Structure 1
Amino acid sequence: MAEIQESGNKKKGGKNKQKKMTVRVDFTPMVDMNMLLITFFMLCTSLSKPQTMEISMPSNDKNVTEEQQSKVKASQAITLLLGGDDKLYYYDGEPNYKDYSSLKETTYKADGLRAMLLQRNRAAVNEVNELKQQKLNLKISEEEFTKKLGEIKSGKDTPTVIIKATDDASYKNLIDALDEMQICNIGKYVITDIAEADEFLIKNYDSKGELSQNLAE
């Protein structure tokens, strides 16, 4: 509230001087208002939750790792090799070190890695889209959606992606590859260290098979 205080002095002869008016504003009610606003926004605003990504990491136990790898069918395994200068290679199943053309080169663009993964995971992608539509139509609950989504992504006929990065690859390359796993509904993927044989594949591909020819000779 504002208060106005008047003050004035009388001159000799009975005349008053001009009155001086001073205004004092009381900000005490503003404190209560601010507290009410803060309380209101705290109750009505939902705190942002951190978004996390589930990543399947290989075990340190070599026996367990070999057992897990043996369960992966070669026809369903796709190995991504992240190279330097934003280069991206991949091969299906077991690598063929004698044939450099068995290693394919692609890009991180939508018509590159994403198109390839969507084609390999087409059945699961269609099922996920139908499942999302059921959720939008309120035919299934959030818990049922999450459960069925996990079952679809980890189905028997879905591909398994193995991601290997060279020392020349950037963190951006790895993040881009992981983003495509989510976009393409890949439920089975793993990040593991690159082997010397995989680095040989890249060098042999860049040399158009000269390294494998030299080894054969």
Structure 2
Amino acid sequence: MRLLLIRHGETPSNLEYVLDTGVPGPGLTDLGERQAAALPTALAHEDIGAVFASTLVRTQLTAAPLAVARGLEVTVRDGIREISAGDLEMLRGDSERGELYMRTVFAWSSGRTALRIPGGENGDEALRRYDAVVAEAAALQAGTVALVSHGAAIRMWTAARVDNVDVPFAATHPLRNTGVVVLEGSPSDGWKALTWAGETVTPSGAAGPTGHPVAGP
């Protein structure tokens, strides 16, 4: 199958550079609404048979124009929500404490899934819930499925589960609002990334920085 992982449109918290992961979360800025409205045209070449969004308002607002354009309902699932920041909630992502968020997230992708974000979830919990929604999407046999999700969650899950995306690549490639990662494969056979925000995926294969923490929420 073909899986499109789409980051939500811009939110006020993105502008403030803070870790805002709580449910239901903020809505979209004016730019975020325009980004969402542009998705149907940007993805006109994709034969999308199902659209999923997380339990956070920003993903549902982003998914709505795409679903309407395709005559589909948005399936809302908690499993693809943003990774909970726990005690780090609403800290600036570039603060000394806030940087712990993405360091922990990418440690999960490297296999250290028992680590826990203070007051939040661990990697086993985050991967399990995301895997469950991907498996549900694959079981639909809808051809191409769009999952409107969140930056940190997408980068963490792809680095952990996609054959040709490693941690250095995901860490150094923040996903802009309404950026799309195109995957091909299945839960049983594995996944390959075809493009990341329009660019062919070429993993770095070398150690790199952990990227900006705010690039997730």
Q: Which structure has the higher relative contact order (CA within 8 Å, separation 6+)? A: 2
Structure with greater helix percent: 1
For the pair shown, the structure with the greater C-alpha radius of gyration is 1
Pair in the same fold by TM > 0.5 = no
